[in-house]
Structure 1
Amino acid sequence: LGNADIGSAAKALREIIVNSGKKVHIPESFVPWYPNLTVEHKGSYAFLKIADGCDNFCSYCVLPYIKGRYRSIPEDVLVKQAEFFVKSGTRELVLIAQDTTVYGKDIGGDIISLLRKLNDIEGDFIIRLMYAHPRGVDEKLVRTIVELPKVVNYLDIPLQHYDSQILSRMNRGYDSEYIDRLVEMIFSIAPDMTLRTTFIVGFPGEFDEHFEKLYDFVTKGYFTHLGVFQYSREENTPAYSMDAQVPPDVASLRKEQLEMAHDSISCERNNELVGKVVDVLVDSPALRDGFVIGRMRQDAPQVDRIVRIKGELKVGEWAKARIIRSFSHEFLGVAEE
């Protein structure tokens, strides 16, 4: 099937089951898969996919070759889907794509226009922007996030590295000086902005001096949330045949060192919340009776911190919880009346 006619997947599977054979379907051009994107959703949050494909062609990534070029879903379709989610009880819309910042470039729109239209939807919910490419995060976007009441002051900006030489080999399109200016700009406009990022360690050509620059940058504590990935060698990507491949054991050690450095910062920062009452969105029941799992506004679902709350609370409701204990990636709290 490929990725040009996703909407035909169900039909193709039915034909395969009935006819007990193989099926090859290669459309001549991309067939939109979103016209009937109005499925209901049950839960506190929902992922709203705003585009598919990617035009960045980072040297380590195979996604542009698998998913094809960037294709935005029209605003009216997304607004309709978001309305269905909200009416179904969704309290948080999480906007995702390979790169959310270039949304609309292929259809005459932009991410700011989409954020404003989603913000205008009636209902009690919040909006979170994920996967914002560093090149697309500008002053206008940051000010829009701060301005719109339903959009959370949260940005997920996958930097992937800090050293300029490694960033160039990755084909990321920016350097360490750009990152410094970007971080300064964000916090000058929104001092309370929560930042998430991801880094890749062990990329071909990453020697000790390159990793040390990344390590020193992480220890500055700009990021509330941070993910570290060990470089994975993908065939048919430029990075696959690059020289100076890093031994897996070295890359693994660097991953552990970076995670430990950030965990130390997180533990200290999280400990400051002990004894305080925070607002949490209840996501699910916990395995232990009498407990639920929730998140603060500063935390995205599935990847950031959680709060284990003792109390009879309903999924999908905002509640107040007093934090009684903190760890590097989660909290323990009790529901406040």
Structure 2
Amino acid sequence: MIVQPNIDRLLIVAPSWIGDAVMASVMFRAARKACPDACISLASRPYLHPLLDGLPWFDRLEALEMGGLLGPVRAGRSLAAGRPDAVVLLPGSFRSAMMAWWTRAPLRIGTNRDGRGMLLTNPLPDADRSSPVSAIEQYRRIAEACFGEDAAADASLQLVATEDDEAEAHRVLGEEESPLLLVPGANREDKRWPVQHFAATADALHESHGLRPVITGAPGEADLAAELAAEINCDAIDAVAAGMKLGALKSVASRARLAIVNDTGPRHVAAAMGTPLVSLFGPTDHRWAHLPGIREHRLLGDPFLPEEVMADRHPERCGIDRITVGDVTVAARALLDAGTSRGN
């Protein structure tokens, strides 16, 4: 392994997106297991701090600000003040490697892609992207190279709800203890199941199981959340309109009996909190975002697509709008009727 157990100061650079940051649990856990006495810092975009706060593997969270042409230089010099002995990069960008170079750490470890290997002391082989490989598996391989096979064996997802998260969730939900979590957004419109389908499913589950819908999403998805709330016939809670903070999503998910989600970051948050999921995929291939050890029904735009074919290359055939309300409702009821036990 590259990083020795007696290292003093270790800096890990987190991925930039919510789902990727959650899937990096395998790396964070491996670092602490392999280096129990090290001072471990995690550098991440500030908006992710409420999500990562509470995890037991870091001594401190550092704000990673890399905007602008000279952003990597400024960020690297700032992090250099902590005198890291090693920097482990999870982002695959050239800019992140430039930032690592400016920390002057003796070890700079990350995947060798986009011509950035010259900035790293230990460039690692990048994943073969000709077929879908989960980000978890990519992070596990980096963790194994850094800390050894045993340390990287546990790839389960983990997040921790803090007292502040619980208080914020209570502000939004009140005494609602077992809601239906709905996540209608995604970073691309073609990855969003139609709002009318979400509404019809929510109404059906309210009628059969008495679940009150809670709609969540990013601040930029406020109009989408409001549209869904207006389409639902029962009394839904619009957490976006309520201004719910990101960290509170952990607490809301932990309360939910079920989440119906597109392929987007809150799916990973809910999975890490043990929430049963109905996950909707199209036109992207579900194998890019495989999550191990969770209770989930995955519904695909084309469930009969041959295994050797990547869904991303057939957007019309694998469109998310091909998933029916009936199929989602049946999958949701199966999870609800199976009981409340949760796997993670």
Q: TM-score, with normalisation over the residues of structure 2?
A: 0.26
Bigger radius of gyration: 1
Question: TM-score by structure 1 length?
Answer: 0.26
Larger strand share, 1 or 2: 1
Q: Which has the higher contact order (CA 8 A, sep 6+)?
A: 2
